[in-house]
Structure 1
């Protein structure tokens, strides 16, 4: 061989190998196995990984799976060993019927890269079925004049097995008159025939009982039986005879209703009624035949009355019976073998062997998207299918083998232009005329994460009523992302921040899926009025993107606090407040001042006072806004010395909250002239009265001096820190016992006659005003000194501890945010007040 010839041979081999590898780039191999039917689940068929040249690790990493064209998943793959296993019971008879060859085609699909393998599993028959006769009991009527040698066809036994395991022989129980012979018909089927060995004699034996046994060729041999009863009849000794024992015809599956099939003719040489023949289907004709065909009982012609379908059944075997009208009736038989011819009546079908994969927009040309196959139920050229897609498409079809294709990319993909493609595939067969079908394959283009989430608005204002139910929803924030899939899947969270020194997560929590914000507990306006939440929306892209929004939560006040009476202090204890007044009191005389506070704010804290009941309503009046109890007129001698007043305190909220206080007023004579009486008593020569007078003088002098000192100190403070002409204020930051720099102290003095009360007010712009009041009624039996701070129980308790430390000899009682100091002299009071102010 010359060098030139060698070069040509080498070049031709290179071209062949190139086309071979191009064809098998998607379909890489085939395998074939042979197994018997009825194998147990989990039985090993073969080492699929080894036979296909795959490693064990590739089975799991490349997601190997098996798809069966039979519809059911009869096989599975052991990922650990790479073995093909039986997944469920395989019944060859149910799967392939009487077909000699039974092959299951499997498609083995693996990914990354996408590849397809074809595996064929041949199912071998085992002898698992018994032969059976259509009828367990058969009755024949035979005339005694029937000549010896006559034969009578019997029912063939049926065995679902094939080959050697099907029916192989028949046997008949021993009888002197009858014997058995077997006749082979087309298709290898054996038909038993009952042979009359010698003439019948009805007078000797009118009935013969025989047992027909069918045997198959399996190991062990299986059998089935049928009981044959023969009644011997007289006369009519000739039976109808057909012109042919077997009639072979063929019809197209598109034959219409009423089309004649065949006309079998039977003749009976007898005369009269014994020679008249009636045609009918055999007594054991299956329902499938009776539903498709009809026979004329007089002429024997068979007509089509149903729809033939080549794909369902390709041939029919029909038994025809011809009976004469003699007595007894004689019967002849023939067989019609009908072949159904295929026509192109089934459009091809496009099957997705694998679901289409989503493709990133930067995928290179030639990327495999899906594996596609085509099938047509017709046969021959009618079942040959070709697939096409429109010209100019971004995709193309790459053929592999036996009507299998790979759908691949054929150009640049741009998700921003088209996010999802609908690839239309047309399948056309080679029939005449050709039939076609179409299938649209959706192909999704995968996006990249280049868009952050965007809230519907950067700020949200939420108004929430106080005392709400814990766990109730406050608000729902919403954000959107222009990306797709995981890149657009958002999760919401709350960024950590502090509210009154506590993490905001202690107040609220958020549903990470839908952005709904829920309260962790009930809010109290008196403690917290406003706070803000930083909400973050974060997508699931890689890398993930996020954005923030601010939620301002405003707590709305509700009228949930009733007014609390802080003076007279005894009212808070549920007892009467006793006050004294002289009978010489004139109209407008101040008896006492009822003071109440409301922990709410706004209209809910506006307090009004009303005289609800009185012993003498004409004698007293209560100021609607200040709560001052004064006389409406001068006291007369006719007025009772004991007066009882019920004062109702209401706020301006909705619904209205209220409280009551009872004041008992004692009218006494001479109470308005204490100094005069003192002077009169000093004139008495009694030594005891003289001491009392001296003590009183010293007490008054002490009180006067201390009062002067107190007012001087207050004046100095007012000059330093005065903010208005009617109040004396100083910041609490100047005091060691208070840490809030925004609070101030305000002292108001009543100037109506003797000092009856001192109000110390404190507050800031955000919290409710606080009130400390010192009430010193000269008409009371004891001097009461009351401080109230309704907004903060903790700070007030600290103040009480200071009072206890500074005044150990005094007795203090703290009840319902009130402190009552009993039996404390004015000196100690002023001293404490000055120290507290400083």
Structure 2
């Protein structure tokens, strides 16, 4: 063994060097090599540095069969791991080459190694049986040949070249004959006539030796019985019959018909056919021969991939005594048909694939094979769906599944890829293999709010810790990449100027829950301090790096009636209409004085009460009521103007002084009020004029009581001219405002519908009059509609889409809803919040709503816009009338002075 081991190693080294030069690693190892035998320095031959093989995980990829070699992790050498049996691996195929796939990671590379298993003489020749019985008539002539079944050797080449030797005898010898078949024919040749009476039975030993070094042998005992009588054996017309059959042939198909003749006569001439031997022996039930006709038919299934050739020995035996027989061989070649679909294996799978993986990333390694041969075994592969993966052929029967397009986990989180293989047969067969490729998430999506701007309504005086709204930002990523935390962003635009003149950030008023996005109030809100609070809320995910999104929150504070009306002190307003001027306060700040002349006609204004309310809208809309004296007195007070006027001509019977108690109420729920006491002194006309003039002078009014008539007339003329100029300016301003109101109405008419804040609230009463005036809150310019009396008022009813302020009446009709969050515009809110609700049962003019003349109607959004626009026009008309009345006051004062 040691004598030829050195040359073998040199041959292996030369083959490995030649393979590296040729671009492919190739090694050779003899079979039956011991475990641990080094086949080759694989890491060095692949160009890896020392120690790099273990770091880059150099390893073999199994392809479905048991691996007999492995890669040493430390040295990177290819060593034998288990018994190598060339006959088991390759059978009779020569040479026996194993194709191995070698993987190197970091980065991933594939190398192909061819390992040739060299044959050694480890199999002895083997006969089909240990004993063979032959019957030979003694009349057989010398030179008669009797076919024998030769031995078989699992080795190849010289190790399978057999030679035969017969034990010493003078009657027989062994003869080998080459034919056009794939195997040699072996015959026992009679060299000398037999004499049954001398030796009836010949026992010989047939020895088969192979050509290996050392040579191995096998033996079979031949037991030859000498028969008497029939001296002519049947003879076939062909020694060898060659037949080609497709492997899909059906049972019962005629393979061929053999024919033998016997020169004898009588029973010695009648021949019966039988199968003597079949190679391989496991296929004895595949064929059957008819004993009389010699027809050979198929009785089993053929499989080209299992057995491609059959050697069938047919024996023809006559009926003589003793019977004689002749032999022939039928060689059946099986033709391949496309009956095997391609098979696909996944040899390596690298999942999940990150969604930011680059194009060209290897996802899986595949191996494809087809057991058929020729065109039937040529395979084409494709991947479905075609995107985003593709196949790249790396070696014969090996493919890589690579990434062709960028991935997006938020669009597709997992792919079911199918690798389809199709052979070249007709018809072609297909095989497929499914590969599940999950996509792992990366933080590539920032949290996004449903709205860029959120509008929140919150009532003032709300409890600290009350929930105002709930924000939500969507992040399509998963796990930590999609976990969102909320915060009020101090870096954004947010805050409000405090009453003390400083700047307070939005975080001092509100807070947002980091997990749920709920917006909380940190302290009670005061409408008189903060009307609108705008700030930004930031949503940040927990990815690496974190991504964020912002949304703007506009928090509108809804006013509640928490301020009572306040009377203006003396001198805070200008002179009122009428000759008597404004009510004057006396020494006591709680009492007001006015002067009226006896004989003043009905409707004469003697004083005007002025009050303001720190609230806004309906809560700041004031009305004046005469509380004392009750009944029919000489004075009355304007319901919304606060003007104290006479109801009839004053008489001396009314006394020198009248004490009036006037209550000022707002329209809040519940209503708040203030009380003013007015003392009206009744005197002669001249005294009343002087008292009024003195009051006007003390209040800063321009009134010169001592002017001469000529000078007074000139002053009156100049004042009249100035008043005319102001009247022209007022008319132009009124026309411009009217046109602007028409344009705004058209814009609101065609503007898209705003989102509804909540369900329809109770009806709202808005009053307008052609001679009405508007009063203004001291701190905010909130328009309030007033009229001289209830008799001249028109009523318009609409239902604003936000809840009313809390109060006893409102709480009885419907529960107070939570703070609202929707996409309502600021313009709609400001338009609606100036018109708070009133009781739902109102008298509506039948001209506007004839079918709903009693109860407040529940109008559609379109009707609300139309009614609101009409109300705006009426309110503008009231403003114009109030402006004209204000301009007329100086003119009247001038006229009184003159």
Q: Could you tell me the TM-score, scaled by structure 2's length? A: 0.47
